Amino acid sequence: GFEHLMPAELSGGMIKRVGLARALALDAELLLLDEPTSGLDPVASELFVDLIAELRTTLGLTVALVTHDLDTLVDLCDRIAVLADRKLIVIGTLEEVVACDHPFIQSYFHGHRGGRLLDKGP
């Protein structure tokens, strides 16, 4: 087990899971996540996103998250709110958001990386 390790000895993924466990120990119905995959390597990031998705389904959690990571957004979000220049631009499903003609949306979601992810789909 890892219970004997000090926090500094834990990996980034372990630290994120401990934080998630602490929140869930309180029987939370709403989980707020700020950049949940930041600092994780691609494998750990995918495992953490899968864990959040599984917990959301099995526990009936509502998850609100802030992310710049389009993979996380596509994999976890049913509804999306996009902020730019301190203003709310659009709220909707992924399909509704990418259909928005705002220049920020067009640049962010239809650029090279965004276009590749949108082709992959949720």
Can you give the pLDDT at residue 20? 86
The CATH number given to whatever domain includes residue 71 is 3.40.50.300
Instruction: Give CA torsion, residues 43, 54, 110, 66, to 10 deg.
Output: -90
My answer on whether 89 and 72 are in the same domain is no
pLDDT for residue 121 is more than 70: no
pLDDT for residue 116 is more than 80: no
Q: What is the pLDDT of residues 28-83, one digit of tens each?
A: 889 999 999 998 899 989 999 999 999 999 999 999 999 988 889 989 999 999 99
Alpha helices (runs of H) in 1-122, residue ranges in sequence order: 12-24, 42-59, 70-76, 94-98, 103-110, 112-120
Considering the entire predicted model, what is its pTM? 0.78
Q: With contact defined as beta carbons under 8 Å apart, do 48 and 17 qualify?
A: yes
- Structural element, H or E, at residue 88: strand 87-92
Q: How many domains would you assign to the chain?
A: 2
CA 31 – CA 43 distance, rounded (Å): 22
Can you give the pLDDT at residue 17? 85
Q: What is the pLDDT of residues 84-97, one digit of tens each?
A: 999 999 999 999 99
Can you give the pLDDT at residue 119? 65
Can you give the pLDDT at residue 118? 64
What single DSSP character describes residue 66? E
Q: Average pLDDT for residues 13-30, to the nearest whole number?
A: 87
My answer on whether 72 and 86 are in the same domain is no
CA 2 – CA 16 distance, rounded (Å): 14
Can you give the pLDDT at residue 110? 83
Can you give the pLDDT at residue 53? 95
Question: Domain residues for 113?
Answer: 79-121
My answer on whether 21 and 49 are in the same domain is yes
Quick one: which of 40, 28, 21 has its CA closest to 64? 28
